[in-house]
Amino acid sequence: MKRKRVEKEEAAEKKMEIVWQTPANPPEKHDYIFRDGRRHVRPYHFEFISHVKNRWAGKTIVDLFAEEFKGRPYDYYVSAVKCGRIQVDGEMVPVSYIVKSSQKISHFVHRHEPPVMAWDVPILDKEDDVVTVWKPATVPVHPCGQYRKNTVVGVLQAEHGLAPLFPVHRLDRLVSGLLILARNATRADLFRQEIEAGKVQKQYVAKVFGVFPEDEQIVDVNVNYNAREGRSTVEIRVHLQYTGHPIANDILYLSENVTNRSSEGLNADRAAHSPNNCLVPENNSSDKYEDSTEEDFDIDPMCTNCPNLVPKGYDGHEEGLWLHCVQYSGSGWVYQCPYPDWAVLT
């Protein structure tokens, strides 16, 4: 029975004429599907490459994957090895193969990326060596984890042909606002030197629980010191919680007295759906997504996510935080981003 299944999968794979992508393949416009207010990535075939770590050596190829990559069942890895979806040094191996340190392992998968909110990535300023954009909430800045094409860098490359890009500061995935990207490594290094030297001023706006004091509040707790790099970092979300005024839809840092209210509608999932709390930027042309039609994608017979468009484990209700980066300024330069709708008083 198992042999017939493997033969069927092999035949289906040949019929599909699979083209395997790697990180060298740039995102393109047709990679995206807009559906129900979300930007999806059309599932694609991708080669994940890793090298055998010392602690992996001596294990069978199947046991290695089953123990280290628990997202798929054991039987999947057996089938993947038998049909060549998992290879060692570019060659098919038996399921009993013992891996050795530093060997190259390729895992060919049908990759499903999590969706993000279906918002544009508006370009604010475009210079010879710098581009600044309005980063939408829920979109990661650069490839990480399950995200590769559904990132700010990916969208800018697909829709504007901007590459390479070097993000010079960090914005959490659920945070929106100003994002500065250098267009060459030299300019990126200059920005980072200023930031690490403490010469850059940052300004954020947040919608918090309660009435925030009008006077300046100084908080010096929860500072993370990196001894190796010799610098400290802070979490604005943690600091707001410490003041007793956490971000109003930030479940992670809401205090106990707020949590009960959040379950009634103040969390990131529910609050953004309120007609009084529109999170779509004013300069964002999101209307174009309302009439988008469903598009098909190729089903992979070995994929553990198909026929669903989204990967397993995604609940589909994620929204952005009420935290927005407004301005960065340094020695002789300043970049700004407009306020989001939820921060504009009416």
Our CA angle for 190, 191, 195, nearest 5°, is 120
Based on the structure, what is the number of domains in the chain? 1
Bridge pairing between strands 176-182 and 201-206: unpaired
Please tell me the predicted confidence (pLDDT) of residue 266: 36
User: What is the distance between the alpha carbons of residues 66 and 232, in angstroms, rounded to a whole number?
Assistant: 38
**Would residue 298 count as lying in a domain?**
no
Our CA angle for 118, 124, 126, nearest 5°, is 120
Radius of gyration of the chain (CA): 23
pLDDT category at 18 given cuts 50, 70, 90 is: confident
Residues 195-203: contacts with CB under 8 Å, at least 24 apart? 195/168, 195/169, 195/330, 196/229, 196/231, 199/330, 199/331, 200/328, 200/329, 200/330, 201/327, 201/328, 201/329, 201/330, 202/325, 202/327, 202/328, 203/325, 203/326, 203/327, 203/328
Please tell me the predicted confidence (pLDDT) of residue 208: 76
**Would residue 242 count as lying in a domain?**
no
The answer to whether 341 is a known catalytic residue is: no
**Would residue 117 count as lying in a domain?**
no
| Percent of residues, the chain, with pLDDT higher than 90 | 59
Most confident by average pLDDT, 6-15, 153-162, 218-227? 153-162
User: What is the distance between the alpha carbons of residues 122 and 284, in angstroms, rounded to a whole number?
Assistant: 7
**Would residue 206 count as lying in a domain?**
no
pLDDT category at 254 given cuts 50, 70, 90 is: low
**Would residue 141 count as lying in a domain?**
no
**Would residue 65 count as lying in a domain?**
yes
pLDDT at 3 over 90: no
Q: Please check whether residue 204 is in contact with residue 339, taking contact to mean a CB–CB distance below 8 angstroms.
A: no
- The model carries a pTM of 0.78
pLDDT category at 5 given cuts 50, 70, 90 is: low
Q: What are phi and psi of 263, to 5 degrees?
A: -70, -15
Q: Catalytic residue, from 172, 269, 298, 341: name it.
A: 172
93-102, 121-130, 210-219, 291-300: least confidently modelled range: 291-300
User: What is the distance between the alpha carbons of residues 325 and 340, in angstroms, rounded to a whole number?
Assistant: 10
| Mean of pLDDT values over 297-307 | 93
Taking alpha carbons only, the member of 339, 330, 332, 340 closest to residue 168 is 330
Q: Please check whether residue 133 is in contact with residue 179, taking contact to mean a CB–CB distance below 8 angstroms.
A: yes
- Domain of 84 in residue numbering reads as 2-111
**Would residue 73 count as lying in a domain?**
yes
**Would residue 335 count as lying in a domain?**
no
CA-to-CA dists, residue 290 to 37, 38, 134, 159, angstroms: 7, 10, 21, 19
pLDDT category at 276 given cuts 50, 70, 90 is: very low
Query: pLDDT tens across 316-335, in order?
Result: 677 888 899 999 999 999 99
Whichever domain contains 15, its CATH number is 3.10.290.10
